[in-house]
Amino acid sequence: MSNVFVRVAIDQPMSVLFDYRYSLPIPPAIGALVQVPFGRRDVVGLICEVAASSDVPAAKLRDVTGICDACPPLSAQWLALAAFAADYYQRGLGEVALPALPQALRDASRWARLFAVDEHFRLLPAGRAELPDALPPRATALRRLAEALAAHPSLGVSDARALHPKASATFDDWLARGWIERAAPGDHALAPETSAPPTGAALLPQLTDEQREAVDAIAAARGFAPFLLHGVTGSGKTEVYLHTLAALLAARANAQALVLVPEINLTPQFEAAFRARFASLAPGSIVTMHSGLAEGERARNWLAAHTGSARIVLGTRLAILASMPDLAIIVVDEEHDPAYKQQEGLRYSARDLAVYRAKQLEIPVVLGSATPSLETWWQAEQGRYARLTLTRRAVADAALPSVRLIDLEEERQRGRASVEGLSGPLIAALKSRLEHGEQSLVFLNRRGYAPILSCDACGWVAGCPRCSAYAVLHKPERVLRCHHCGWESRIPKACPECGNVDIAPMGRGTQRVEETLASVVPGARVLRIDADSTRRKGSAQALFSNVHAGEVDILVGTQMIAKGHDFRRVTLVGVLNADTALFSHDFRASERLFAQLTQVSGRAGRAGLPGEVLIQTRYARHALYLALSRQDYVGFANATLAERRDARLPPFVYQAMLRAEGRTLEAAIAFLEEAAAAFAPLHGAERVTVYDAVPLTIVKVFNVHRAQLLLESGSRAALQSALRAWQPVLRSLKGVLRWNVEVDPLDV
């Protein structure tokens, strides 16, 4: 009797594949999803090999219980990408491949429904005439359903459900009334919700010479071609992407493009631009992929990419592992953004994987930024990435804003008062913008009302009982809240230590600045955007549209307002409290600060009105601020790279971090020390420097103590091979709650 066996990747913290007997009628294929028993559960796995024999004793072998034949197998190339990521980031293949799939595919009980051919309906003339009037006035979901039916030749039930949860019952009802009929599932995908304007060539902006050169260079590329698109804020990088994609998609019938953006809040702006520009593509050709999508939508978008019906995938970092059989170009916008680094589970860099994937597929990859990461800049300096430079803003007459430093020390010496941390010049500038009907933006990277609540009399400070951190005062919500673990308590009326009723907030967060602005700039409509004001789903979008609609005079917020948004009416940006990052122990802090301040400054003066940036600082002569005020990224980058080279820091060396979490700090440190001792004899370890185990800056979070061990080497290969050999050793060590290895850590 002929036997078939399959080796299956499963989402387990082990790097091995699991053998199963295969006796289903459908032949097994590499890359197919299967259902297999694992322990006492059934799990979904991925076939990685098909074999005629197995080393596992027959008595121990179990059977594959199901195969998802409706889903085309994942390609060998996709599996190779997952295998590379697993290897590079020190994980098992299954731990990488399975979490990269949408949840609905990883649950065999949902396969049938996911792939069921949708029942389709079409609006009849009677329905067209009667339905609009028959709907109750406030039934918005029903109305959307009726409008979708009217707008499309036919509508599938699964698309309809996204508009109205009871769509299928509703259709039964409308069917009975003779308003709709069953239809063939021809044109089943929903067209974009945003109605696209006509896209005559006349409406497209004329590319600037610099943009044209960039588009031409990318179009001329053959094979693996990494580009750094270094363009100042407002230089029209998006337009370069749009033109590049338009040329590519027109030239090749099946070609697919992947566009990554750092933040979910930026997807709507990009999506609208792409939908408008590519309105002529078949409906369903543009899909988004990010963590904000409902599960069903996520699965359908993933499948659209996987089957090739989606031509453009627009997503956040997780989209880098999307299956795209005809992927022809990858764009990583704001490539420097730390959000491209996944901080849990598989700690990958989507930007780095994008470059790897482009190399694997021999396609171009475009990394865009006004302030490229120093890793990328260094690649360009060495000539490994081709540099495309946009030095000017694209909109005619729009210049980069002027940057002015407000020396708080000098202000104080001259006896010019600040009001609650807002300097005289900044307040004056805000008032003048208000008079001219222009918008201002006030940036500070600290949310809440005040970071510290303390008692003058005895020195008590409100802290989180579970973390080694202060509890942040949140005034509107009337709580003390820990930003590390979420702990909350009511604000005490008096000092819990000494009874003093004069406990006072120290320092400032966005809520406090919002309050101050309302009083020092009378009549201004102030809006705050930060993680607290946008907690509800969709609220960020609503707040941003208020800004775009001109219903806001002063926008105050954290880095959420700094990134990528094309605010047309902002002419003033004020920066508060940036100094703390100048003296961080993290060697990347200044790079991040420069990028962040450039980004936020870049929101000013985008549409032709002159923009101004005022940075309040106590260190007005600091080199970083001076470079910033000269808009001198290149000078800053090269000086910082020289420092990194002298100090032997990345990108001149490669790093990895072992982090451990224990019930006590001693346990975490002991684990790391044992691990370090076990590392020394490994192959490649002689070329790796192992530093001392140290506690994290915030050592305790949620009652767990954290410490880390840094490894560093001039040889990536030596580091990789030693890390690989280390894995089984680490797994055998005991004494901590959790540990993980991070390759190329961003926070050191």
- Which partner in Zn ion, ligand ADP, none is near 400 (CB below 5 to 8 A by kind)? none
Lookup result for tokens 């602005």: 517
E strand or H helix at 724, and its extent? helix 716-732
Binding residues with Zn ion: total (CB under 5 A):
15
Binding mask 666-685 toward Zn ion (x if CB under 5 A, else -) reads --------------------
Residue nearest to ligand ADP (CB): 236
Lookup result for tokens 């004494």: 735
- Of 319-327, 498-506, 599-607, 723-731, the segment contacting Zn ion by CB under 5 A is 498-506
Distances (CA, A) of 68 to 26, 36, 114, 254, 666: 10, 12, 11, 25, 48
Q: Smallest distance, Å, CB 233 to ligand ADP?
A: 5
Say what angle helices 589-601 and 633-647 make with each other, to 10 degrees. Answer: 170
Its sign, for the CA torsion 558, 564, 568, 571, is positive
Cα–Cα distance, 618 to 578 (Å, whole number): 10
Residue 467 in contact with Zn ion, rule: CB under 5 A:
yes
Q: Smallest distance, Å, CB 548 to ligand ADP?
A: 11
Which member of 110, 466, 525, 548 binds Zn ion (CB under 5 A)? 466
Q: What would the two tokens of residue 733 be? A: 């060590």
Tell me whether residue 79 or residue 232 sits nearer to ligand ADP (CB atom).
232
* Amino acid in the structure at residue 384: R
- Which partner in ligand ADP, Zn ion, none is near 123 (CB below 5 to 8 A by kind)? none
Cα–Cα distance, 141 to 163 (Å, whole number): 6
Cα–Cα distance, 332 to 389 (Å, whole number): 16
Residue 721 in contact with Zn ion, rule: CB under 5 A:
no
Tell me whether residue 65 or residue 489 sits nearer to Zn ion (CB atom).
489
Q: What would the two tokens of residue 312 be? A: 């453009």
Cα–Cα distance, 545 to 471 (Å, whole number): 32
- Of 11-19, 283-291, 490-498, 603-611, the segment contacting Zn ion by CB under 5 A is 490-498
- Which partner in Zn ion, ligand ADP, none is near 233 (CB below 5 to 8 A by kind)? ligand ADP
Q: Smallest distance, Å, CB 393 to ligand ADP?
A: 7
Q: Smallest distance, Å, CB 391 to ligand ADP?
A: 11
Residue 470 in contact with Zn ion, rule: CB under 5 A:
no
* Amino acid in the structure at residue 528: R
Q: Smallest distance, Å, CB 154 to Zn ion?
A: 53
- Centre a 10 Å sphere on the Cβ of residue 664 and count the other Cβ atoms it contains: 13
- Which partner in ligand ADP, Zn ion, none is near 516 (CB below 5 to 8 A by kind)? none
- Which partner in Zn ion, ligand ADP, none is near 455 (CB below 5 to 8 A by kind)? Zn ion
- Of 227-235, 240-248, 462-470, 473-481, the segment contacting Zn ion by CB under 5 A is 462-470
Tell me whether residue 237 or residue 341 sits nearer to ligand ADP (CB atom).
237
Tell me whether residue 130 or residue 566 sits nearer to ligand ADP (CB atom).
566
Q: Smallest distance, Å, CB 496 to Zn ion?
A: 8
Which member of 495, 562, 718, 719 binds Zn ion (CB under 5 A)? 495
Residue 500 in contact with Zn ion, rule: CB under 5 A:
yes
* Angle at 246 (CA atoms; ends 242, 249), nearest 5 degrees: 135
Binding mask 412-451 toward Zn ion (x if CB under 5 A, else -) reads ----------------------------------------
Buried residues in 578-605 as b, exposed as e (16+ CB within 10 A): bbebbeeeeebbbbbbbbbbbbbbbbbb
Tell me whether residue 397 or residue 586 sits nearer to ligand ADP (CB atom).
397
- Which partner in Zn ion, ligand ADP, none is near 485 (CB below 5 to 8 A by kind)? Zn ion
Residue 705 in contact with Zn ion, rule: CB under 5 A:
no
Q: Smallest distance, Å, CB 628 to ligand ADP?
A: 17
- Which partner in Zn ion, ligand ADP, none is near 394 (CB below 5 to 8 A by kind)? ligand ADP
- Which partner in ligand ADP, Zn ion, none is near 234 (CB below 5 to 8 A by kind)? ligand ADP
Closest CA to 85 of 345, 294, 399: 345
Tell me whether residue 106 or residue 237 sits nearer to ligand ADP (CB atom).
237
Distances (CA, A) of 151 to 154, 187, 283, 747: 9, 11, 12, 50
* Amino acid in the structure at residue 377: W
**DSSP string across 113-147:** HHHSPPPEEEE-HHHHHHHHHHS-TT-HHHHHHHH
Residue 498 in contact with Zn ion, rule: CB under 5 A:
yes
- The answer to whether the beta carbons of residues 370 and 402 sit under 8 Å apart is no
Backbone angles phi, psi at 603, to 5 degrees: -80, -15
Tell me whether residue 350 or residue 464 sits nearer to Zn ion (CB atom).
464
Q: Smallest distance, Å, CB 592 to Zn ion?
A: 24
Residue 464 in contact with Zn ion, rule: CB under 5 A:
yes
Residue 457 in contact with Zn ion, rule: CB under 5 A:
yes
Residue 458 in contact with Zn ion, rule: CB under 5 A:
yes
Residue 481 in contact with Zn ion, rule: CB under 5 A:
no
**DSSP string across 568-615:** SSEEEEEE-S-GGGGG-SSTTHHHHHHHHHHHHHTTSSTTSS--EEEE
Residues 6+ apart with CB under 8 A from 528: 510, 511, 514, 555, 556, 557
DSSP designation for 72: P
Tell me whether residue 447 or residue 565 sits nearer to ligand ADP (CB atom).
565
Q: Smallest distance, Å, CB 260 to Zn ion?
A: 32
Tell me whether residue 57 or residue 198 sits nearer to ligand ADP (CB atom).
198
Its sign, for the CA torsion 331, 337, 341, 343, is negative
Residue 203 in contact with Zn ion, rule: CB under 5 A:
no
- Which partner in Zn ion, ligand ADP, none is near 475 (CB below 5 to 8 A by kind)? none
Q: Smallest distance, Å, CB 333 to ligand ADP?
A: 7
What are the beta bridge partners of residue 712?
655, 689
- 3-class SS at 63? strand
Q: Smallest distance, Å, CB 592 to ligand ADP?
A: 18
- Centre a 10 Å sphere on the Cβ of residue 386 and count the other Cβ atoms it contains: 17
Residues that bind ligand ADP (CB under 6 A): 205-208, 211, 231, 233-239, 394-395, 566, 606
- Which partner in Zn ion, ligand ADP, none is near 236 (CB below 5 to 8 A by kind)? ligand ADP
Q: Smallest distance, Å, CB 305 to ligand ADP?
A: 24
Which member of 172, 497, 586, 666 binds Zn ion (CB under 5 A)? 497
H helices of 152-258, in order, are 157-163, 167-176, 209-220, 237-251
- Which partner in ligand ADP, Zn ion, none is near 231 (CB below 5 to 8 A by kind)? ligand ADP
Which member of 96, 190, 287, 455 binds Zn ion (CB under 5 A)? 455
Cα–Cα distance, 596 to 562 (Å, whole number): 7
Distances (CA, A) of 57 to 21, 42, 62, 174, 321: 11, 21, 10, 59, 35
- Which partner in ligand ADP, Zn ion, none is near 458 (CB below 5 to 8 A by kind)? Zn ion
Tell me whether residue 119 or residue 216 sits nearer to ligand ADP (CB atom).
216
Residues 6+ apart with CB under 8 A from 2: 52
The terminus-to-terminus CA distance of the chain in angstroms comes to 58
Residue 484 in contact with Zn ion, rule: CB under 5 A:
yes
Max Cα distance, the chain (Å): 95
- Which partner in Zn ion, ligand ADP, none is near 360 (CB below 5 to 8 A by kind)? none
Q: Smallest distance, Å, CB 464 to Zn ion?
A: 3
Say what angle helices 76-88 and 350-361 make with each other, to 10 degrees. Answer: 140
Binding positions for Zn ion, rule: CB under 5 A: 455, 457-458, 460, 464, 466-467, 482, 484-485, 487, 495, 497-498, 500
